[in-house]
Every structure is written in C-alpha cells, then in structure tokens.
Amino acid sequence: MIVFDEVAKRYAGGYTALAGVSCEIRHGELVVLSGHSGAGKSTLLKLIAVIERPSAGRVLINGEDVSRLPRSAIPYLRRNLGLVLQESRLLFDRNVFDNVMLPLVITGHPPRDAGRRVAAALERVGLEGRGKELPAGLSGGEQQRVAIARAIVNRPSILIADEPTAHLDPAYAADIADLFRSFNEAGVTVLVTTHDGALFAASRPRRLVLAGGLLIEDTRPDGRPAQEVAA
C-alpha cells in the first residue's frame, strides 16, 4: 500500500533528514516508527501526506507515485489520509463540532451526512455530546481527541500520527494508544511515531527504527525482520 523506494530528503544548507530509505507498509498494518530526535520520523510522515517531497527516490501509495503529484491532485489524495500532528492545531475560535467538521467542509461534503459523520467521530473518540464546547475549555488529552476525530471524520484508509501522545500524561497516552489500536482493528492502516516504544507493545505492531536518516530496523510483530535493512 505504501512503498518507500530509496527515498532521500535533503534540506537547504545540506541537512539530510532521510538517506535512501526503502520499505513497504501493507494494507491493515499497525506500524510504530521510532528513533532519536532528528532521526527523520516526522519527515517520513510528511512525505506520505505530500507536505514534503523527496529529494530522490519515490513514495508510492496504492501504486501511485505521490511524490510527483501535481499540487491540484494533493487534496484528493488527502481524502484517504488521516493526519494527526504533535500539536493539535485546533481553531480556538470554533467549537469542537466545527473543528471536526472542517475537512468535510473543505471537500464539499453534503451537510446532513457531514453532521452525522462528525457526531460519529466524536463518539468514536469518547467526546459524544461535547460538540458545542470550545477547545480552550478542554484538557490537552481531550484536545488531542478532537484532533483525532478530525483526522478520521473522512473515514480514511490510512491514519498517520506524529508523536500523538508526546505531551500527555501516562493515563491519557495509554488511552490514545488504545484508540489507534482500535482503528487498526477496524481495518485502517496506522503509522504512528513515538518515543515510548512500550506504549504500543500490547498491540504487537510492526516496528521501524530510524537513526540519522537511515532505516536501521524493520521488525514484524513476530519479532522476525520484515526485510534486510542497513546495519
């Protein structure tokens, strides 16, 4: 489903975030991506969502080279992607319902069905009946749940999340990890970055480890290497 083919990403000034990364993520997998700060984790996710484009190599989703998509086609790609960033990036002048509704408004979704989808997404993340509240009145964990509801309201086939538990206390972090596990059990392909490898251990995910822009480990849930990677 998602293929990285010798992908490199270099920024102005010569900084290399990724250096020849190759891997394939199959439909329905739960993948945990880890590595030190600056290892290239966030860059890898941004390449999937075409927030960034590779300097070399290819990123394919369902056989399509998204790294070469024209700008006009990117919104159509993102309809099948749910993206959760480290910061919730909510609109604090709009209530919870309107924040979750935003992707559906952008894509021109019929209002009646859009409302049902928003209500279902809020129920899914444990915020049923709280659509009229403003984000400022929510805890950090609740704000992250709103961001997750916004990411899944389009019912994406792929959900990617960049350190979604980074600023949460352990109890909330565990709840958020359980949410991602439940999405995966429903058939969604989930790719999440985290510094806390134990957080998703019970889900027995596939594990990718980056170091210095290189993929140094790719381990299946049974503990066996998924492929040969750089030593």
The maximal CA–CA distance of the chain, rounded, in angstroms, is: 53
Is 141 a domain residue? yes
Is 213 a domain residue? no
Is 63 a domain residue? no
Is 216 a domain residue? no
The pTM of the full predicted model, rounded to 2 decimals, is: 0.90
Q: 228, 62, 22, 36: which is closest to 158 by C-alpha?
A: 62
Is 173 a domain residue? no
Residue 99: CB partners within 8 Å, gap ≥ 6? 90, 91, 135, 146, 150
Helix locations, 18-95, DSSP H:
41-48, 74-78
- Residue 230: the pLDDT is 47
Residue 228 pLDDT grade (very low, low, confident, very high; cuts 50, 70, 90) = low
pLDDT at 224 exceeding the cut of 80 = no
Give the number of domains in the chain.
1
Query: Domain range spanning residue 106?
Result: 90-155
Of the ranges 78-92, 118-132, 142-156, which one carries the lowest mean pLDDT score? 78-92
Given the DSSP bridges, would you call strands 16-25 and 189-193 parallel, antiparallel or unpaired? unpaired
Is 134 a domain residue? yes
- Residue 203: the pLDDT is 83
- Residue 231: the pLDDT is 44
